[in-house]
Copies of this chain bind each other. A is one copy, B any other.
């Protein structure tokens, strides 16, 4: 197992090296546009924003914009701006999510809510949202504003639906998938769509890229939710078990509840209804023995196959190859 893990880490590092080789300059330009847009002369705002830098992650969404653009014809300056926009929206939702989840660490550092306060997090998230829209408008392209506006509407609707379904121990797989499609996959889909559209791709190719981002996004969220159950805090660098604490049912639990006897289901629901720090450990043997962890993993892997299928319409290119490999990469952390 350890060898496999080392091999996986090496292969994801190799993937990131290939990404850097192809679009490293563009990604650095995205970073510059991102920081320029949110710059503030106010010392307090600057301090909070500089903490954000240690907070952010893989830049998955900017990569999706840029690789989609590259695979569909080429990267232009508008793509760099759009990549910064989707990253800013994603960061805004992370900052607000950490308030909702009462999370204390993310990427091995203190969250804004734990280091400052919930108030600062609420306002910082707002600040990032409004700057993302302002940055979009700088392109002078109302259609891009509309796509970004529509996608963020769906993201926020999904987040609200998720809060509404907390404590709903009868959440179905279909309902779960609908929520994660809205709250996570929509932004991945629009990232790919904008990349393709601004590269002048025909409608059918834009739709295919949207479909790629959507399937990849759902797979990513299933994997992320799985990690919240099986991961360890040292490796992932963030608070874990928060879904259980907040009574958010995710795919392994939803599956488990369909696999057990009525009596066992009652026991499990009792655990879920009164979560504490031991709930995760108490559930793991059930999740393992009833195949629920494997079920979630398999669903995520199937979605990455679907995602790659959408790329069939594209000519072969290093960017297309990287998009395909990224689809695998999003689930690799949980294998």
Interface residues of A (CB under 8 A from B): 40, 42-45, 48, 92-93, 96, 99-100, 118-120, 122-127, 129-131, 133-143, 145-146, 148-150, 152-153, 155-157, 159-161, 163-164
Secondary structure of the A contact surface, majority rule: helix
Residues of B within 8 A of A152 (CB): 130, 133-134
| CB nearest neighbor in B for A100 | B119
Contacting pair B156 A123 (CB below 8 A):
yes
13 contacts between A and B (CB under 8 A): A92-B126, A93-B126, A96-B123, A119-B163, A123-B156, A123-B159, A129-B129, A130-B153, A130-B156, A133-B145, A138-B146, A140-B142, A142-B142
Q: Is the CB of B129 within 8 A of A130?
A: yes
B126–A96 CB distance below 8 A: yes
Residues of B within 8 A of A127 (CB): 153, 156-157, 160
Q: Are A164 and B129 in contact (CB under 8 A)?
A: no
The reply to whether B157 and A137 contact each other, CB–CB distance below 8 Å, is no
A92: chain B residues within 8 A (beta carbon): 126
Q: Which residue of B lies closest to A127 (CB)?
A: B156
B122 close to A137 (CB less than 8 A) = no
The answer to whether B96 and A122 have CB atoms under 8 Å apart is yes
Contacts A146-B138, A161-B45 known; A99 to B122 CB distance under 8 Å? yes
**CB < 8 Å neighbour of A163 from B93, B120, B131, B140:** B120
A286 to B: closest C-beta gap in Å: 28
Give Cα distance in the complex from A300 to B85, angstroms.
Answer: 39
> Which chain B residue shows the least CB distance to A49?
B160
List 16 extra interface pairs beyond A42-B164, A122-B125, CB under 8 A. A45-B164, A93-B126, A99-B119, A119-B163, A123-B160, A126-B159, A127-B157, A129-B129, A129-B130, A133-B149, A133-B152, A134-B150, A134-B153, A137-B146, A137-B149, A145-B145
